[in-house]
């Protein structure tokens, strides 16, 4: 089981840079995830953010530089006990000075010693003036951190507090939380290239009217996020939804079934696993008006629809033996029978059947109840939050691939 799905211990190391003022917001984010947060402030970080605020928000004592060699904790050596306690260490913001200290394995401060002593994954978020960031010394130090096995997350670009414009901003809190979750995940999908389709398609009749379905994209986005947490290289082909694009994932937006087909076909050649969680419109209008169609006082309006291409079946016909193709079946009746029929007719390796008539299953909900079926029958059943179900789907896909 992945640590990220339970309460985790995060050690947040805040160093001296203007972005340290965002530390309380980051602490709140981890607390809202239900994680336990402890904070170390370097001496210069104390100039930017108050230990009192961080202690109040984390509901834990905050460790500052004067605690480093203090005997106040009795036999407890702070940098060792914090290093052992942490499931993940986040250095945010990481100043140029701290990057240089970590790069040489320095242990002269509480924070550096805790990082040296920990066996937990370390994620570093450099944030500084763009010239400092691009100085060859900083580049070398950051490369060295990567070589040491730390994850170094590139800063964002934009207006910098120092008045410059360029790269050097601390990424949004969501990115920090996502990277922490990824750091806690077992990387059992490392080296795999995964494509997920998600959301609905839209088939337009004129510039202002279309037919679609209620897919929110939540299931497909959860699949994309969890595959990224587990180390996969992920492309998400998504119909129009109201969800934030997942961090770390290549997002390819599409509108119609034809566009989704084009994107999926071009991604198929280079991927190991394709999962079709999108709810693709089966039909489109036989003709699309360039101008808004007038009402003309008609009581009944007749339109004609034509078949859309079946994307899953198209991919099933070109799939290589080393590739795994997974479909979904959204059913209102005869769940297993109908899903098995789709599995076979579309040339899929596995199908995930969800019963649309069940509460908390299928379209729009945060949860799903699914039965995974292979050519030999039921593989596993799962219910719960869509992220938990997504993890279960990946477990099953990896098991299938292990067998093939
Ligand atoms: O997005 P959410 O709100 O989280 O909801 C999730 C979901 C219900 C949309 C998802 O769990 C799901 O079931 N997706 C598939 C819905 C669907 O279109 O099922 P289907 O039984 O009509 O199609 C079977 C499979 O063929 C699907 O993998 C579908 O992507 C694929 N298909 C269908 C039609 C078509 N023209 N091309 C296709 O590739």
Q: Do 96 and 222 belong to one domain?
A: no
Q: Within a domain: residue 11?
A: yes
> Is 162 labeled as catalytic in the residue annotation?
yes
Q: Is the bond into 84 cis (omega within 30 degrees of 0)?
A: no
Locate the ligand 1 atom nearest the alpha carbon of residue 353 and give its number: 13
Q: What is the mean pLDDT of each run of 10 residues along the chain (404 residues)?
A: 75 96 98 97 96 97 89 76 96 98 94 97 97 97 98 94 90 97 96 98 97 97 98 98 97 98 97 98 96 86 94 96 97 94 97 93 96 96 96 97 77
- Ligand 1, atom 14, lies closest to the CA of 277
Q: What residues are in contact with ligand 1 under a 6 Å CB criterion?
A: 199, 215-219, 257, 276-280, 282, 308, 310-312, 327-330, 342, 354, 362-364
- Compute the distance from residue 1 Cα to the ligand 1 centre, in Å: 28
pLDDT recorded at residue 404: 53
Q: Which residues of 40-52 are buried (b: 16+ CB within 10 A; e: fewer)?
A: bbbebbbebbebe
- Compute the distance from residue 19 Cα to the ligand 1 centre, in Å: 43
pLDDT recorded at residue 57: 98
Q: Which token pair is 110?
A: 């509480």
Q: Do 99 and 227 belong to one domain?
A: no
Q: Within a domain: residue 293?
A: no
Q: Are 88 and 125 in contact (CB under 8 A)?
A: no
CA distance 50 to 37: 16
pTM of the model: 0.94
Q: Which domain holds residue 316?
A: 193-288+301-403
Q: Do 276 and 334 belong to one domain?
A: yes
Q: Do 171 and 314 belong to one domain?
A: no
Q: Do 240 and 312 belong to one domain?
A: yes
Q: Within a domain: residue 295?
A: no
CA distance 241 to 27: 29
Locate the ligand 1 atom nearest the alpha carbon of residue 311 and give its number: 39
- Compute the distance from residue 328 Cα to the ligand 1 centre, in Å: 5
Maximal CA-CA distance, the chain: 87
Q: Do 11 and 117 belong to one domain?
A: yes
Locate the ligand 1 atom nearest the alpha carbon of residue 354 and give its number: 13
Q: Which residue, of 155, 184, 213, is where some domain finishes?
A: 184
Q: Within a domain: residue 294?
A: no
User: Which listed residue (13, 94, 162, 271) is catalytic?
Assistant: 162
Q: Do 204 and 125 belong to one domain?
A: no
Q: Do 102 and 244 belong to one domain?
A: no
Nearest 5°: CA angle at 19, between 18 and 24? 120
Instruction: Give the DSSP per-residue string, 213-266.
Output: ----SHHHHHHHHHHHHTT-EEEEEE-S-SSPPPTTSEEEE--SHHHHHHHHHH
Q: Which residue, of 162, 184, 206, is where some domain finishes?
A: 184
Locate the ligand 1 atom nearest the alpha carbon of residue 199 and give its number: 1
Give the CATH number, domain containing residue 43: 3.40.50.1950
Q: Do 85 and 202 belong to one domain?
A: no
Q: Which token pair is 262?
A: 């084009």
CA distance 65 to 302: 75
| First-to-final CA distance of the chain | 24
CA distance 352 to 397: 11
CA distance 97 to 87: 25
**Helix, coil or strand: residue 87:** coil
- For the chain, the domain total comes to 2
Q: Do 179 and 199 belong to one domain?
A: no
Give the CATH number, domain containing residue 207: 3.40.50.10300
Pocket test residue of 195, 275, 278 for ligand 1, highest count of atoms within 8 A of CB? 278
- Ligand 1, atom 35, lies closest to the CA of 310
Q: Which residue, of 160, 184, 208, is where some domain finishes?
A: 184
Helix (DSSP H) and strand (DSSP E) numbers for the chain:
13, 20
Locate the ligand 1 atom nearest the alpha carbon of residue 346 and give its number: 26
Q: Do 227 and 158 belong to one domain?
A: no
- Ligand 1, atom 11, lies closest to the CA of 362
pLDDT recorded at residue 308: 97
- Compute the distance from residue 303 Cα to the ligand 1 centre, in Å: 24
Pocket test residue of 196, 262, 273, 277 for ligand 1, highest count of atoms within 8 A of CB? 277
Q: Are 131 and 118 in contact (CB under 8 A)?
A: no
- Compute the distance from residue 110 Cα to the ligand 1 centre, in Å: 52
Locate the ligand 1 atom nearest the alpha carbon of residue 356 and give its number: 8
- Compute the distance from residue 250 Cα to the ligand 1 centre, in Å: 21
- Compute the distance from residue 166 Cα to the ligand 1 centre, in Å: 42
Q: Do 375 and 329 belong to one domain?
A: yes
- Ligand 1, atom 26, lies closest to the CA of 312
Q: Are strands 233-238 and 193-198 parallel, antiparallel or unpaired?
A: parallel
């Amino acid at each position: 089981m992945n640590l990220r799905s339970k309460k985790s211990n995060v050690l947040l190391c805040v160093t001296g840079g203007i972005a340290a003022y965002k530390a309380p917001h980051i602490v709140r984010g981890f607390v809202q995830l239900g994680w336990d947060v402890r904070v170390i402030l370097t001496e210069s970080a104390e100039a930017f953010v108050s230990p009192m605020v961080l202690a109040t928000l984390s509901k834990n004592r905050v460790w500052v530089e004067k605690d480093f060699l203090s005997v106040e904790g009795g036999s407890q050596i702070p940098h060792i006990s914090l290093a052992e306690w942490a499931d993940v260490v986040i250095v945010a913001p990481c100043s140029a000075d701290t990057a240089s200290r970590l790069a040489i394995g320095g242990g002269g401060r509480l924070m550096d010693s805790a990082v040296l002593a920990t066996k937990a994954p370390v994620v570093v978020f450099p944030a500084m003036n763009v010239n400092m960031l691009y100085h060859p010394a900083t580049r070398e130090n950051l490369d060295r951190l990567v070589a040491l096995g730390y994850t170094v997350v590139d800063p964002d670009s934009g207006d910098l507090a120092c008045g410059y414009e360029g790269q050097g901003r601390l990424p949004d809190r969501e990115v920090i939380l996502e990277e922490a979750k990824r750091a806690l995940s077992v990387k059992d999908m490392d080296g795999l290239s995964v494509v997920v389709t998600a959301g609905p398609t839209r088939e337009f009749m004129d510039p202002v009217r279309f037919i679609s379905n209620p897919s929110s994209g939540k299931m497909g986005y959860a699949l994309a996020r969890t595959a990224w947490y587990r180390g996969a290289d992920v492309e998400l082909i998504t119909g129009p939804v109201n969800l934030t694009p997942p961090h770390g994932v290549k997002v390819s937006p599409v509108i119609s079934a034809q566009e989704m087909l084009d994107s999926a076909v071009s991604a198929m050649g280079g991927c190991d696993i394709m999962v079709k969680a999108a709810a693709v419109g089966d039909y489109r209008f036989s003709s699309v008006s360039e101008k808004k169609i007038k009402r003309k006082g008609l009581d009944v309006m007749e339109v004609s629809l034509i078949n859309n291409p079946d994307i899953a079946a198209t991919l099933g016909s070109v799939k290589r033996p080393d590739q795994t193709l997974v479909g979904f079946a959204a059913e209102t009746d005869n769940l297993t029978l109908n899903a098995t029929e789709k599995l076979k007719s579309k040339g899929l390796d596995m199908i995930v059947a969800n019963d649309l008539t069940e509460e908390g299953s299928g379209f729009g909900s945060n949860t799903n109840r699914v039965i995974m079926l292979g050519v030999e029958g039921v593989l596993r059943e799962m219910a719960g939050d869509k992220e938990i179900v997504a993890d279960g789907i990946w477990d099953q896909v990896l098991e299938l691939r292990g067998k093939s």
